[in-house]
Amino acid sequence: MKDSQIFNINELSNYLTSKKVEPELKADIFKGVKSNSMALKLTDHIVRLINWDNLIADPIRKQFLPLGSEYQPSHPQSKVDSLSEEKKQVRPGLIHRYPNKILFLLGTFCPTYCAFCTRSYAVGPNTKTLAKSYLTKSQTGKTDTLIDYLKTNVNINDVVLSGGDLLSVQPLIIDKLLAKLVTIKSLRSVRLATRGLLFDPNLFLPNTPLFEIITRYSEKFKQHNMELSIQCHFNHATEISSESQKAALSLYQSGVTIRNQTVLLDGVNSTIELQKNLIEKLISSGIQPYYVYQMDMVANAEHFRTNLETCISISKNLTGAFAGFQLPRFIVDLPLGGGKRSVYEYEFYDQKYGIYGFKSPIISGEKIYYYCDPLRYLEPHVQKEWHGKISVSELYD
């Protein structure tokens, strides 16, 4: 029964009233909905996972229902499309950043919207604060484009199918696409990126269309010396409910590899203990901890970002706590499309301005990409300098 899903402000208001949420907190939640770049949409499962008796501290509420009072001004270097994905589109919905790997956007909708979404520029409907990129939205999901591109670019051996979420696409379309991909000889890996194991885990249980498709093709891909895997996204141990665990273990026990990527979010999972709990829960659910991302410099999501030192410190403190293959890699996805680098790989750190410089030789030789810490970590007079319109290019170029 889906009686608790919340898809609009009236449903949210009624639900908050039924949970006897204080008027002041209720007003703050409404202010948050107005400030959010992402639309309001909560699946029944997410609504049931939120701890409505401890809303302010709840890590799941923070990701999907930020309070107005939590928002902070964006860093001057932040961008709505912080990874410059639109500039890297080589065909409609196809983002080609690394020589051997391609990202294909299956669609631009999700069952629930994360307030920190890196693809906020295109994902979900327009909101009061952000009109989505019409160009990208209108061009995604054309699967023939992907197949044609792969046939003429045989150096590509890894495809990530993302969006938007896999769950917003009809299983039949996924079935047909995988049937074509498995015949492309140059491919070694296809990854299904989804937060569906959190949003609606029952859709991945045995005897569902999705479970049948994924397990069938996982087997077929293996026969062709290829891998079909799931790339899921859990940020906190409490997100892995008994339903999520059951779905993940069923897939795992049927031979499907599931890898998790986590986004480091201030106040949600930004301590050693919370990351340790998450890794333990992932491992016990048949999921490999794969990446922990330093939060991207996405505009209008500043309160979610930590400084890079927090990420490095958590990484250092977890090394040795798990077997090497169980430990996720802590990475920064470089602004402006520089690609993923280990958090330790920076060329320099300007402590005064909170700027890290990285090179990304495989993408663009000696070019330096800059990741900036949130201004709240800097001295007040330096914060003022940033607000006085200094820019990274003024400082270094």
Distance, C-alpha 188 to centroid of its chain: 23
In terms of Cα–Cα distance, which of 168, 173, 220 is closest to 194? 168
Longest C-alpha distance within the chain, in Å? 61
- Closer Cβ to ligand SF4, 171 or 357, answer by number: 171
Do the Cβ atoms of 129 and 300 come closer than 8 Å?
Answer: yes
Residue nearer to ligand SF4 on the CB measure, 7 or 344: 7
DSSP labels for 48-98? HHS-GGGTTT-HHHHHHS--GGG--PPPTT-BTTTT-TGGGEEETTEEEEE
What tokens were used for 60? 């799941």
203 versus 375: smaller Cβ distance to ligand SF4: 203
Taking each helix axis from N to C terminus, what angle separates 308-318 and 272-284, rounded to the nearest 10 degrees? 60
Name the residue nearer to ligand SF4 (CB basis): 194 or 270: 194
The secondary structure of 289-305 as a DSSP string is EEEEEEPP-BTT-GGG-
The pair of three-digit structure tokens given for residue 57, joined into one six-digit string: 């501290």
Smallest separation, CB 112 to ligand SF4 (Å): 7
| Shortest spacing between CB 114 and ligand SF4, in angstroms | 3
- For the chain, the straight-line distance linking the first and the last C-alpha, in angstroms and rounded, comes to 58
Nearer to ligand SF4, 164 or 328 (CB): 164
Q: How far is residue 133's CA from residue 108's CA, in Å, rounded to a whole number?
A: 10
Q: Identify which of residues 107 and 354 has a Cβ nearer to ligand SF4 in the complex.
A: 107
| Residue 95 CA from chain centroid, whole number | 16
Q: Closest approach of Cβ 313 to ligand SF4, in Å?
A: 25
The pairing of strands 288-294 and 329-334 is parallel
Question: H or E segment at 262?
Answer: strand 257-264
* Least distance (Å) between residue 113 CB and ligand SF4: 5
For ligand SF4, the closer CB: 33 or 114: 114
Q: Distance (Å, rounded) from C-alpha 275 to C-alpha 26?
A: 30
- Residues in the site for ligand SF4, rule: CB under 6 A? 110, 113-114, 117, 119, 123, 163-165, 195
What distance in Å separates the CA atoms of residue 193 and residue 164, rounded to the nearest whole number? 9
Q: What minimum distance in Å lies between the beta carbon of 98 and ligand SF4? A: 20
Q: Pairing relation of β-strands 348-350 and 355-359? A: antiparallel
Q: Are 304 and 265 in contact (CB under 8 A)?
A: yes
Q: Nearest approach, Cβ of 163 to ligand SF4 (angstroms)?
A: 6
CB of 106 to ligand SF4, least distance (A): 10
Q: Where are the beta strands (DSSP E) in 17-162?
A: 89-91, 94-98, 101-105, 158-162
198 vs 308, which CB is nearer to ligand SF4?
A: 198
> What's at 23, amino acid-wise?
P
Which DSSP letter does residue 191 get? E
133 or 157: CB nearest ligand SF4 = 133
Q: How far is the CB of 396 from ligand SF4 (least distance, A)?
A: 31
Q: In the complex with ligand SF4, which residue's Cβ is closer, 157 or 229?
A: 229
Cα(70)–Cα(115) distance, rounded to whole angstroms? 12
The least CB distance from residue 292 to ligand SF4, in Å, is: 15
Q: Residue 164 Cβ, how far from ligand SF4 at the closest point, in Å? A: 6
